[in-house]
């Protein structure tokens, strides 16, 4: 599937961006350098007639992303939470991609519910509304359970969505391969592995049984979190393509006017949403990884309600400790410790100089701490950190992609509620508390206890395992396969033809 036929899809991507006027808008939003603007124009303009014109009533970026399909819509959803990157106007325009996409018919939704649950809709629900929200993968209907009279939300997958996503992901793999061929320096970013990670996340989102399980686990983890609610999964009314939850009644977190009218404290909400995310990521290692405004409401009592659990992030305890130490080091401006953590975790090659790396990190952190609170940004920090780690040969850590992306999204949500929020001040107590409980003497003793338990369990097998490992180490390595250079040059030439699409996908991957 990941062959040259995808060249056509990349050409169509660039042509659609050009035809809708989105290419210029996106390049302006990212403040792209002149050479990239010229290249995109020269390579995209001849193919403009091949692009999809989309809905002329929509703004250019929304028009193009909606025409291109669900994977591109996901990209737009991320940008909608980052007014600091794309500007307030574009961020506001892109919010329609969160839950206001064109729905499919209620008749088709009912048919899918009946096929999945094996019973007529009228027997299951006494009422079943028109779509109340429609996103890239599914839409939601408000319904009433016939048995209990409880109001619920019924989520139904879009027909054919899995096939559509697979086509987009297939093209993304091809684009990643082209980027690696045309720019060997990009290989440290492991674009193919990044796409593989994205594929795993998306494929999990297309099975609503997994989403139901994630919602249940998330609820168990967060049941004692003050100011936070989750709707309850209705298991008898859920399956692979249908999920039923308790109805979440509240004000959308992205509607500041409605929040003000309801008397909610937006400053408190901005701090809580960031601290909740950090607690879930560090304390539990299991967090909501799609926390944009379209998936959050505020209840009448001021609680934040989260829903849509299709994308959940998981990080192991060691990675949590590394991430916390890096954050804590920046908060304390202890750049030497931040550098040491990178080396201890193997993120930076051991042959580099740790003191020089610490000085480079200081050059990243100090200008940010000197900024006004309104200009302090996790997005800027990650961008600067990216530049430094590139110099020191750090490869992309795929296990951190979702965590870092969600951190940036949550910061965008929090800042949309309170633009004066200082993220370091808000994050500090959560990170400090985690450091105290997870890296102190008690945590070290607990780690030793767990290690002793594992060793005792596998004790009788240890000699054999060690012997097998030594034998594998001594075995000669298989010769590496070499790609013929003529083939590489051919693919490079083909990649250049698809430049417009590749530029767009490179921007999407960067997001």
Residues annotated as catalytic (active site), given as ranges? 290
Q: Residue holding tokens 């003793």?
A: 445
Q: Tell me whether strands 296-298 and 251-252 are parallel, antiparallel or unpaired.
A: antiparallel
CB 394, CB 348: distance < 8 Å: yes
> Encoding tokens for residue 233?
């999964």
Contacts of 54 (CB under 8 A, 6+ apart): 16, 20, 63, 64, 66, 67
Judging by beta carbons within 10 Å of its beta carbon (0-12, 13-18, 19+), is residue 81 exposed, middle or buried? buried
Q: What is the C-alpha separation between 134 and 104, in angstroms, rounded?
A: 8
CB 315, CB 281: distance < 8 Å: yes
Q: What is the C-alpha separation between 355 and 336, in angstroms, rounded?
A: 7
Q: What is the C-alpha separation between 106 and 104, in angstroms, rounded?
A: 7
Q: Residue 298's closest CA among 269, 326, 278, 318?
A: 269
> Encoding tokens for residue 80?
């909608």
- Burial track 273-306 (b if 16+ CB lie within 10 A, e otherwise): bbbbbbbbbbbbbbbbbbbbbbbbbbbeeeebbb
The strand pairing partners of 153, in sequence order, are 142, 245
């Amino acid at each position: 599937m990941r062959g040259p036929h995808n060249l056509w899809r990349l050409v169509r991507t660039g042509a659609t961006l050009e035809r809708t006027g989105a290419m210029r808008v996106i390049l302006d939003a990212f403040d792209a350098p002149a050479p990239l603007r010229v290249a995109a124009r020269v390579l995209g303009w001849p193919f403009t007639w091949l692009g999809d014109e989309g809905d002329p009533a929509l703004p250019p970026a929304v028009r193009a992303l909606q025409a291109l399909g669900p994977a591109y819509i996901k990209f737009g959803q991320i940008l909608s939470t980052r007014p600091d990157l794309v500007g307030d106007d574009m961020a506001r325009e892109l919010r329609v991609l969160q839950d206001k996409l064109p729905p499919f018919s209620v008749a088709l939704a009912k048919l899918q519910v009946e096929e999945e649950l094996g019973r007529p809709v009228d027997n299951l629900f006494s009422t079943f509304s028109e779509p109340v929200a429609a996103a890239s993968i599914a839409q939601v209907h408000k319904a009433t359970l016939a048995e209990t009279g409880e109001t619920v939300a019924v989520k139904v997958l879009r027909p054919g969505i899995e096939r559509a996503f697979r086509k987009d992901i297939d093209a993304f793999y091809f684009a990643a391969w082209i980027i690696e061929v045309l720019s060997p320096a990009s290989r440290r970013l492991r674009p193919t592995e990044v796409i593989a990670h994205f594929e795993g996340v998306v494929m999990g989102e297309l099975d609503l049984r997994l989403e139901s399980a994630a919602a249940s686990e998330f609820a168990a983890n967060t049941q004692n979190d003050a100011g936070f609610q989750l709707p309850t999964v209705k298991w008898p009314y859920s399956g692979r393509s249908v999920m039923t939850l308790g109805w979440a009644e509240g004000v959308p977190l992205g509607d500041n006017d409605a929040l003000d009218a309801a008397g909610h404290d937006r400053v408190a909400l901005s701090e809580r949403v960031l601290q909740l995310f950090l607690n879930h990521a560090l304390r539990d290692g299991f967090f909501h990884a799609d926390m944009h405004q379209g998936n959050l409401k505020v209840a009448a009592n001021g609680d934040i309600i989260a829903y849509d659990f299709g994308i959940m992030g998981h990080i192991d305890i060691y990675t949590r400790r590394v991430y916390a130490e890096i954050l804590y080091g920046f908060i304390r401006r202890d750049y030497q410790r931040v550098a040491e953590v990178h080396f201890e975790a193997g993120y930076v090659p051991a042959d580099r100089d740790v003191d020089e790396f610490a000085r480079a990190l200081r050059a990243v952190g100090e200008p940010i701490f000197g900024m006004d609170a309104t200009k302090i940004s996790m997005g800027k920090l990650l961008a600067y950190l990216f530049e430094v780690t590139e110099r020191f040969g750090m490869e992309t850590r795929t296990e951190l992609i979702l965590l870092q992306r969600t951190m940036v999204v949550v910061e965008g949500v929090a800042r949309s509620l309170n633009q004066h929020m200082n993220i370091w001040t808000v994050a500090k107590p959560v990170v400090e508390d985690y450091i105290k409980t997870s890296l102190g003497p008690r945590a070290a003793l607990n780690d030793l206890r767990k290690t002793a338990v594992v060793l005792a369990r596998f004790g009788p097998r240890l000699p054999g395992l060690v012997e097998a490992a030594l034998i594998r180490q001594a075995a000669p390595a298989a010769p590496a396969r070499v790609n013929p250079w003529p083939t590489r040059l051919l693919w490079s030439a083909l990649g250049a033809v698809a430049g417009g699409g590749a530029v767009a996908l490179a921007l999407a991957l960067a997001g």
